[in-house]
Amino acid sequence: MTIREMDIFVNVAELSNLTKVSEKMNLTQPSISMTIKSIEEEFNEKMFDRISKKLIVNERGRVLYEEITPILLQLKQFKERFIQNKFSGNINVAASNTIGVYALADVLYDYKKLHKHVNITHLYPEPDNIISLIYEGKVDIGFIEFELLDKNIVKELLYKDELIVVSSDKSLIEKSFYIDQLFDKEWIVREISSAVTQTFFDYLGEVKSDLNITLALEHTVAIKELLIKHKNTISILPAKSVENEIRSNKLYKIDIINMKFERNTYMIYHKNKFKNIIFESFRKFALQNIVK
């Protein structure tokens, strides 16, 4: 039974008069009669006695009435709350490592403070898996730091993310270098498949094979710890991820001649995604508030 069918049944049981039910519910009498007939056929039971042009609920009808009346009340109350509180629901977001940790976390916190009844699930999958999760409907909005050519995915540019060469060796900031002058250093980079390393390799082109890679690690935090402990090491990392270390003089940005390493950061979602009020609210909030 639908909510509408239950509502009609309860009103007929209480009023016993089709004219009164018709006026109260703004329905035609034939449609009410058809609904009652449909309910009786569904349960294979006569629920009303037809007496003097009235529908009088019978013994079996009273059993059904007592069962569905509290259910109908709960459903109506839920519907009213649902309509009144449009900012109630869930949104699933996924982000690659750098943007998720260093740019998106504050946005999620601030949005949640404004909309306490919105539950946010934040995933950190492998970057390529974000696209799959969007296609599967498990993620509503994704945040990526690589180029994507997919006609079914909408991309909205957030900002240009700068990658910088850093080391704890302060002497390296005394002059500028061509990038190949630093190839013999002990490079500790993000894992080879990461967007950071692949962007760096794209800029280097064929000479990337001359790079002395000592370690390729999954986590930026681990790389920073090694850089701080070992002055002979060097790395390329997103500028956002080393802001605190540079501010506290634990790491230093090395000036590279004639090269600036940048990549675009995007917010993405499926073109056929239903854009309800929560989705649109979060999308606009992220565009306006994510730190450039």
Each domain of the chain, given as residue ranges in start order, spans 3-84, 89-158+268-289, 159-264
pTM, two decimal places: 0.69
**Do 159-264 and 89-158+268-289 fall under one CATH topology?**
yes
Per-residue pLDDT at 98: 84
Residue 151 CA to residue 123 CA, distance in Å, equals: 24
The packing angle between helices 29-43 and 18-25, to 10°, is 110
pLDDT digits (tens, 9 = 90+) for 167-226: 999 999 999 999 999 999 999 999 998 889 999 999 999 999 999 999 999 899 999 999
Give pLDDT < 50 ranges for the chain: none
Residue 214 burial (10 A CB sphere; 0-12, 13-18, 19+): middle
141-144 and 153-167: which strand pairing? Answer: unpaired
CATH, domain 159-264, list 3.30.70.580, 3.40.190.290, 3.20.20.140, 3.30.70.1900: 3.40.190.290
Beta bridge partners of 159: 265
Comparing C-alpha atoms, which of 6, 139, 141 is closest to residue 61? 6
Fold category of 3-84 in CATH = Arc Repressor Mutant, subunit A (1.10.10)
Per-residue pLDDT at 225: 97
Per-residue pLDDT at 83: 67
Per-residue pLDDT at 85: 65
Comparing C-alpha atoms, which of 81, 73, 11 is closest to residue 39? 11
CATH 3.40.190.10 fits 89-158+268-289, yes or no: yes
Give me 26's structure tokens.
Answer: 């703004």
